[in-house]
Amino acid sequence: MYLFKESVEAIIPKVKEWRRHLHQYPELSFEEFETTEYIIDQIKDFTDITYERLAETGVVVRLNGSKPGPVIALRADIDALPMTERSGVSFSSKNEGVMHACGHDSHAAMLLGALYALYEHRKELEGSFVFIFQAAEEVFPGGAKELVEKGIMDGVDAIIGQHTGPKIKVGHIATRPGYIMANSDRFEVTVVGRGGHGSSPQACLDPIPVGAQIVTALQDIVARHVPAQESCVLSVTQFNSGTVYNVIPDTAVIKGTVRTYSTENRELMEKMIKQIAEKYAAASDMTIEYEFRRGYDNMCNSDTYTKALMEVADELYGSGTAELMAPGLGGEDFSYYLQKVPGCFYFFGIGNKELDCVYPTHSTKFRIDEDSFSVGISIMLNAAIRFQKLAKKEA
């Protein structure tokens, strides 16, 4: 049964208006003050809702139905990226050097649309719905962790999150039960040598060749220590040393990222990066400084709730609407919510070659086909009602 169809169709023009406004005025992580006020302005005259700012930016809205029942949370992130937009759309960013290149403007606008649609039917609903307009997904430690620590998931039975999917055609979604995103960590190794004149390397402890050996040796961790059937990535993304052509520097700094699913592989990577760096440095009478910074934890969808959401999508738009995706190695702080309650995170298709909506997220040319909005909102709303039924059965 397709619930809220007329309400969703009626609100789409407003969703597009909201999204385009947010797109023109993007704000960086933890700086989303005007974005937060704009969202509040759209709901401040509503009765039968409450809203609060649990963090400095972002807002949490609660809508109660006419009788008690399960509580379902729906989340959208609202922050932008430090990028200069080159998408060519008529409503491009007016904030120089800041761009909504990951679709968080659409996430926020669509969640507002979902709130409006449910608000219209509030007298027919049971239970409650918590709408989380969350700050700072793009930078660690992210905005979700603070909200969870402040009890945002207390009393919530299940949660739904969605994200733009540039590789997915409009009208389709993609998700999977189990691991859908990875542990997202970073490391930094500083090789400490002894600098001097470039003409006298014998009087120095040159950290550059040792750093190069470490970079090469790190690639053996995944190849030789992680089972072939387990996904794991180690990428060295920075190698910096020296400032002058004729001076051997004191240090060389290696930075990179590690993506894993299991706790065991995460701990293995942390330990072995240090061991390898220490070994090569010691062989040349040098030392290292080491930092392994754990970022977002892996994200694991509930089997039951993910199956239910995929069924809802196929019921609404036909068999095959919901595609089973492979696990991704990106990071997402939605993982903190899923550590507390079951739920599903999915990607909704925004791809359309005719409209040049083909660029990946975090591209300066990133575009969204706005025809995707009605599909995303409808699936989110109907899945929320289905989740309430599941929560009742599990109670």
CATH 1.20.1250.20 fits 183-293, yes or no: no
Tell me the CA distances in angstroms from 315 to 120, 196, 260, one per residue in order.
Answer: 23, 70, 34
Helices and strands, counts by H and E, the chain: 9, 16
Ramachandran area for residue 261 (φ above 0: left; ψ -120 to 50: alpha; else beta): alpha
Which residue is catalytic, options 77, 79, 185, 206?
A: 79
- Which DSSP string corresponds to 162-215? EEEEEEEETT-EEE-SEEEE-EEEEEEEEEE-B-EETT-GGGSB-HHHHHHHHH
Model pLDDT, residue 3? 84
Catalytic residue among 27, 85, 137, 369: 137
Pairing mode, strands 178-181 and 299-301: antiparallel
Strand partners of residue 239:
254
Distance CA 176, CA 306 (A): 7
- Report the C-alpha gap between 32 and 76 in whole angstroms: 13
pLDDT at 395: 73
What residue segments make up the domains of the chain, in order of their start? Answer: 5-180+299-394, 183-293
Phi, psi of 290 (to 5 degrees): -135, 135
Q: How many residues does the chain have?
A: 395
The answer to whether 170 touches 372, Cβ cutoff 8 Å, is yes
pLDDT tens over the chain, length 395 residues: 578 989 999 999 999 999 999 999 999 999 999 999 999 999 999 988 999 999 999 999 999 999 999 999 999 999 999 999 999 999 999 999 999 999 999 999 999 999 999 999 999 999 999 999 999 999 999 999 999 999 999 999 999 999 999 999 999 999 999 999 999 999 999 999 999 999 999 999 999 999 999 999 999 999 999 999 999 999 999 999 999 999 999 999 999 999 999 999 999 999 999 999 999 999 999 999 999 999 999 999 999 999 999 999 999 999 999 999 999 999 999 999 999 999 999 999 999 999 999 999 999 999 999 999 999 999 999 999 999 999 998 87
Backbone angles phi, psi at 35, to 5 degrees: -60, -45
- The dihedral over CA atoms of 183, 178, 388, 120, expressed in degrees to the nearest 10, equals 60
Nearest to 395 by CA among 159, 177, 128, 157: 157
- Respond yes or no: is residue 371 known to be catalytic: no
| Structure confidence at residue 1 (pLDDT) | 59
Residues 350-378: b if buried by 16+ CB within 10 A, e if exposed: bbbeeeebbbebebeebbbbbbbbbbbbb
> Quick check: helix, strand or coil at residue 315?
helix
- Answer left, alpha or beta for residue 352, where phi above 0 means left and psi between -120 and 50 means alpha: beta
As a whole number of angstroms, the distance between CA 50 and CA 60 comes to 8
Q: Residue 263 in contact with residue 152, Cβ under 8 Å?
A: no
Q: Is 137 a catalytic residue?
A: yes
- Domain 5-180+299-394 fold is Aminopeptidase (3.40.630)
| pLDDT of the residue at 234 | 98
| DSSP code for 365 | T
> What pLDDT sits at residue 394?
85
Cα end-to-end distance, the chain, whole Å: 24
